[in-house]
Amino acid sequence: MTLPALEVERAYQRCEQITRHEAANFYYGIRLLPRPKRQAMSAVYAFARRVDDIGDDGGEPSAQLAALGHLREMLLEFEDEARLEDPVMIALAHAHRQFSLPADALELLIDGVEMDVLGTRYRTFDELVGYCRRVAGSVGRLCLAIFCDGGAAVRNGAHALADDLGVAMQLTNILRDVREDRERGRVYLPAEDLERFGCDELISGRSAQTAALIRFEAARATEWFDRGMQLIDLLDPRSAACVLAMTGIYRSILERISREPAEVLERRISLPAWEKTWVAVRSLAAARPTGVLG
């Protein structure tokens, strides 16, 4: 049983409010999409924001895990939208039905935040990539389903490229948020890299070793971007513009981190609103009508 159109519309409006208010970088890309896809992307973001907020609320781990478990249970109710009362879940269920969102990606997102709650640390870069695939690669695949109206998302290896872009953006987030994560007691950079560059576990100080470590990790993120950006040629122009806008903002942040790596230990590097808008405008101009998945 489905819900009345007016109730679904109100649920989407709530998700769009959350996205405009919370998504400092995400929103600049999705506003380039046609309305149905923009609404679905807002639903995905609002759900991801809720999952992430549970992981960052500073509460008792048992309570956080219980809250994440409750979200898992709510995902099981998608087949009967009329049972849902939460606007974010109503909108997500509708988007799931309209765009065939991959249910496993929604589950993986929760899996990744559970790793945060449990304080998981990463010995190797491959282990860190596994985490990034859960919390961000999963979002990349959800977005791809929306870009491609569900059915075409598995062709031409597009899903793998969307996953790669998600990993690239999450690696950028990790570098940008090193100081804030350290204050929360979280360390994402691989232990083998910290040891290789002679940094302590919490990478304190403005040392040459720390700068070298940050540049090394930034170069890795750049490689993931370069590989994932092949997705652009497989998308319709407006979806391509959306991806170009979102990745353009993240790549600009990554370039600043590479130039001044010690800055991430002093402040959170971000772009001013006017620059994000300029990136979005350039993305529209850069997208070409050569996509094959739209």
What value does the mean pLDDT take over residues 196-201? 82
Taken in order of first residue, the domains within the chain and their CATH numbers are 5-286 (1.10.600.10)
Nearest to 162 by CA among 102, 94, 72, 88: 102
Q: What is the pLDDT of residues 160-195, one digit of tens each?
A: 999 999 999 999 999 999 888 888 888 999 999 999
Question: Per the confidence metrics, is the pTM higher than 0.75?
Answer: yes
Question: Is the CB of residue 106 less than 8 Å from the CB of residue 142?
Answer: yes
Question: How confident is the model at residue 107, as a pLDDT?
Answer: 95
Q: What is the pLDDT of residues 231-266, one digit of tens each?
A: 999 999 999 999 998 898 899 999 999 998 888 888
Q: What is the pLDDT of residues 87-136, one digit of tens each?
A: 999 999 999 999 999 989 999 999 999 999 999 999 999 999 999 999 99
Question: How confident is the model at residue 205, as a pLDDT?
Answer: 57
Q: In percent, how much of the chain has pLDDT > 90?
A: 59
Q: What is the pLDDT of residues 39-62, one digit of tens each?
A: 999 999 999 999 999 998 878 999
Question: How confident is the model at residue 202, as a pLDDT?
Answer: 58
DSSP 8-state secondary structure symbol assigned to residue 58:
-
Q: Looking at the chain, list the stretches that DSSP marks H as alpha helix, in order from N- to C-terminal side.
A: 5-22, 26-30, 35-56, 61-75, 87-99, 103-117, 125-132, 138-147, 158-176, 178-183, 191-196, 208-228, 237-259, 273-286
Question: How confident is the model at residue 14, as a pLDDT?
Answer: 95
Backbone Cα Rg of the chain: 19
> Is the pLDDT score of 294 beyond 50?
no
